[in-house]
Structure 1
Amino acid sequence: MSIKGAILPAIAIVGGLVVWMEVIVPQGQQKLLDDAYTKVVQDSEQQYEIAKRQGDKMAVCVQAMGVAAAHLQAKDEQGYRAWKSREAEDCASAGMPRVGQ
């Protein structure tokens, strides 16, 4: 095989690796990250429900804060707003004043 004959396959391989490293791998990493955020949100909501069933108002307030934080970390603005509202209700029920209110 001549040098010219070897250059084109080498360029194709390098090009393929660049596409793989710059496009495919980051997309896979983003999916893994999104899946992790989803799992954290689900776990936080399950913990909230457990606390709510136990009836400890302070624990419910704290767990609502955790769920809101999980939604914020996941960049889920709608979920964050909904849980901040629930947090305000639960914390008021527990006698916890809201900072800045």
Structure 2
Amino acid sequence: MTVFNMMEILAKEILDRHWDHLGMPCSCATCRNDVLALLLNALPPRYVSTEKGQMFVKAAALNEQFRVDLLQELYRAARAVAARPSHPLAGENGA
């Protein structure tokens, strides 16, 4: 097993689970990746190198406060991307 950030897996899972409820004005891959990037930058990394480490992080993710914090950061990231997408939205003038 190589070293990797379990928070990336958890962030992708929560993004997939809640994407339809975020009210994003655009659902393109760029906006989705921008939300994921902002979310990951707001979260502490959780690097693991063993299956035991994976299980430890997954167990911590079952904590209600952990989930609330993750959702709060997800919605914060989504609001930021919705307010300033990295590309013009359909029907916008400019670029």
Assess same fold via TM > 0.5.
no
The structure where helix makes up a greater share of residues is 1
TM-score by length of structure 1 reads 0.27
The structure where strand makes up a greater share of residues is 2
TM-score by length of structure 2 reads 0.28
1 or 2 for the larger relative contact order (CA 8 Å, sep ≥6)? Answer: 2
